């Protein structure tokens, strides 16, 4: 049994403690916006926030999450896609196939919480998610647009 707070709601889950958080979120909580891409924390498709820090959930055993830690998934980033990062993504029509984009958005939102006005070098260092369609330049532009909106730091 594990207690997790996911998108503000406490959940008690029957689960093997070794199960990666990703699979608890996807298969037991039923929130499928967080994606599996590699299972070795190499691609970032599984990025969620734990206490506001962008974290790759595919290699994190659920037992490593404390019961009082706040887990935020793409579904919980905002109730209505109004987070500045989501709004910037919409304004620049960033996604192509879209599969990696939840992870990208969560990574970008995490970056902006730590660093409200990231330079290119900061983006390069922090956004290492893989996109095979090739949205990188629009992701970069959307992060800068979200930063400019000035609200990104105030939202989880």
Partner 1 sequence: MNAILSISRRSFIIGVASTACGLSLGFNVPFIKPALAEGAETAPEINAWVVIRPDDTVVIRIARSEMGQGTLTGLAQLVAEELNCDWSKVTTEYPSPAQNLARDRVWSNFSTGGSRGIRESHEYVRIGGAVAREMLIAAAAAEWGVPASECAARMGMVTHAASDRATFYGQLAAAAARMTPPANVTLKDPKDWTIAGKPLPRLDTADKLNGSQVYGVDLKLPNMLNAAIRACPYFGGKVESFDAAAVAGMPGVRTVVQVDETAVAVVADTWWRAKTALDALPVVWDEGPNRQVTSASIAAMLEEGLGANDAFIGAKQGDAGAALSAAGRTVTATYAFPYQNHATMEPMNATALYTPERCEVWVPTQNGEASLAAAAEAAGLPVQQCEVHKIHLGGGFGRRGNFQDYVRQAVSIAKQVPGTPVKLMWSREEDMLHGAYHPTTQCRLTGALDADGNLTALHMRISGQSILAAVRPEAMQNGMDPVVFQGLVLAGTEGTLGYTVDNLLVDHAMRNPPIPPGFWRGVNLNQNALYVECFMDELAHAAGVDPLAFRRKLMAKHPKHLAVLEAVAERIGWDTPPAAGVHRGLAQIMGFGSYVAAAAEVSVTDGQLRIHRIVAATDPGHVVNPAQVERQVEGSFVYGLSACIYGECTVNGGRMEQENFDSYEVLRMAEMPEVETMILPSGGFWGGVGEPTIAVAAPAVLNAIFAATGKRIRTLPLKNHDLA
Task: Please tell me the distance from the alpha carbon of residue 1 to that of residue 12, in angstroms, as a whole number.
Answer: 7
Site for partner 1 contains 135 (CB under 8 A): yes
Query: Residue 28 or residue 70: which is nearer to partner 1 going by CB?
Result: 28
Do 144 and 73 form a contact (C-beta atoms < 8 A)? no
Binders in 34-63 for partner 1, by CB under 8 A: 34-40, 42-43, 45
Given the rule CB under 8 A, which of 49-57, 63-71, 111-119, 137-145 is the region that contacts partner 1? Answer: 137-145
Q: Which is nearer to partner 1, 40 or 68 (CB)?
A: 40
Q: Count CB neighbours of 25 within 10 A.
A: 26
If the CB atoms of residues 59 and 68 are measured against partner 1, the closer one turns out to be: 59
- Tell whether residue 124 is a contact of partner 1 (CB under 8 A): yes
Q: Is 27 in the site for partner 1 (CB under 8 A)?
A: yes
Q: Which listed range, 30-38, 49-57, 64-72, 146-154, lies at the site for partner 1 (CB under 8 A)?
A: 30-38
Site residues, partner 1 (CB under 8 A): 16, 19-20, 23, 26-28, 30-40, 42-43, 45, 73-75, 77-78, 81, 86, 89-90, 93-102, 105, 123-125, 127-140
């Amino acid at each position: 049994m594990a207690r997790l707070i996911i998108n503000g709601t406490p959940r008690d889950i029957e689960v093997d403690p070794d199960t990666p958080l990703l699979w608890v979120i996807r298969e037991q909580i039923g929130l499928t916006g967080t994606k599996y891409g590699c299972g070795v924390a190499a691609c970032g498709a599984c990025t969620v926030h734990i206490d506001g820090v962008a974290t790759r959930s595919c290699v994190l055993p659920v037992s490593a999450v404390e019961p009082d830690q706040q887990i935020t998934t793409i579904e919980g980033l905002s109730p209505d896609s109004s987070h500045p990062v989501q709004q910037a993504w919409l304004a620049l029509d960033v996604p192509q196939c879209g599969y990696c984009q939840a992870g990208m958005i969560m990574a970008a939102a995490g970056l902006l919480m730590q660093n409200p006005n990231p330079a290119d070098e900061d983006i390069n260092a922090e956004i290492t998610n893989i996109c095979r369609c090739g949205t990188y330049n629009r992701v970069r532009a959307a992060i800068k647009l979200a930063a400019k909106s000035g609200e990104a730091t105030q939202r989880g």
